[in-house]
């Protein structure tokens, strides 16, 4: 596992994520959960490292190293809370921001050690986790190195899910490529998922995501492993 020095980008990231009316209320939510137990992970960290503006953030993922069942009622008392596809709390903050809170676990809810959690949290190796309090970085497969080279890679563990989730991951591959102009390593993982889904009958949403991926794939930028 790769760990950056604790303060390498902790303070600049907190300044960045707080520098928008869109993220108002986020710091209060983190204090409610207990900042020592909260890690920013996934899209917001990736957007910061790639130089995107804070106003581009529409959702924030928080990895929570605690008992979600014990804080769920606190969240529901103070916020509008729904559930993600995997049953975890999704907190609405204002008109424009959703914050998903999830435990260190597989897509099937099986607990995993905290340092391994980023392997299951996103489509890509770039699911880098940054502790909200002290800045510890969890980067088990070199996401910081990849992002500095404007590339990303797919991880098989994140694709061990149902057909609908795999279809959404295919769409996310396309979105990330178009938004950040990233090249991909190990794109065969997504290719295999698309082939499996294409060979079966699913609803229109799944079929639409598969077709979007197929159309994009012809011009994808792919790096050797």
Placement of tokens 């983190």 in the chain: 30
Placement of tokens 């940054």 in the chain: 130
pLDDT tens digits, 178-192: 888 888 888 999 999
Domains within the chain, CATH numbers bracketed: 1-148 (3.30.460.10), 150-225 (no CATH)
Cβ atoms 46, 126 nearer than 8 A? yes
At residue 5 the predicted structure's pLDDT band, cuts being 50, 70 and 90, is: very low
pLDDT attached to residue 223: 67
pLDDT tens digits, 8-19: 799 999 999 988
| Mean pLDDT score, 27-37 | 93
Encoded tokens for 131:
């502790």
At residue 141 the predicted structure's pLDDT band, cuts being 50, 70 and 90, is: confident
At residue 60 the predicted structure's pLDDT band, cuts being 50, 70 and 90, is: very high
At residue 48 the predicted structure's pLDDT band, cuts being 50, 70 and 90, is: very high
- Is pLDDT above 90 for 194? yes
| Mean pLDDT score, 51-67 | 89
CA distance 181 to 224: 17
- Is pLDDT above 70 for 155? yes
Cα radius of gyration rounded to whole Å, the chain:
17
SS3 readout for 7-60? CCCHHHHHHHHCCCHHHCCHHHHHHHHCHHHEEEECHHHHHHHCCCCHHHCCEE
Q: Is the dihedral of CA 148, 123, 160, 218 positive or negative?
A: negative
Distances (CA, A) of 183 to 47, 111, 151, 224: 15, 31, 5, 10
| Mean pLDDT score, 100-124 | 85
Q: What is the pTM of this model?
A: 0.87
pLDDT attached to residue 225: 59
């Amino acid at each position: 596992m790769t760990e950056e020095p604790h303060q390498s980008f902790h303070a600049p990231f907190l300044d960045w994520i707080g520098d928008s009316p869109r993220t108002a209320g986020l710091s209060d939510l983190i204090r409610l959960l207990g900042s020592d137990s909260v890690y920013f992970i996934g899209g917001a960290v990736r957007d910061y490292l790639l130089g995107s503006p804070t106003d581009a953030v529409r959702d924030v993922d928080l990895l929570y190293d605690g008992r979600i069942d014990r804080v769920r009622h606190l969240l529901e008392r103070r916020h509008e809370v729904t559930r993600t596809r995997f049953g975890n709390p999704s907190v609405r903050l204002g008109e424009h921001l959703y914050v998903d809170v999830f435990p260190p676990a597989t897509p099937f809810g099986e607990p995993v050690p905290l340092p391994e959690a980023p392997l299951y949290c996103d489509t890509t190796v770039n699911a880098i986790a940054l502790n909200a309090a002290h800045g510890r970085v969890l980067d088990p497969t070199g996401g910081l190195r990849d992002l500095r080279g404007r590339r990303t890679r797919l991880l098989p563990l994140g694709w061990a899910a149902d057909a609908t989730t795999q279809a959404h991951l295919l769409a996310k591959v396309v979105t990330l490529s178009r938004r950040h102009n990233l090249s991909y390593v190990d794109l065969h993982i997504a290719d295999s998922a698309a082939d499996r889904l294409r060979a079966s009958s699913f609803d229109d949403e799944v079929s639409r995501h598969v077709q979007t991926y197929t159309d994009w794939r012809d011009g994808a930028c792919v790096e050797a492993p």
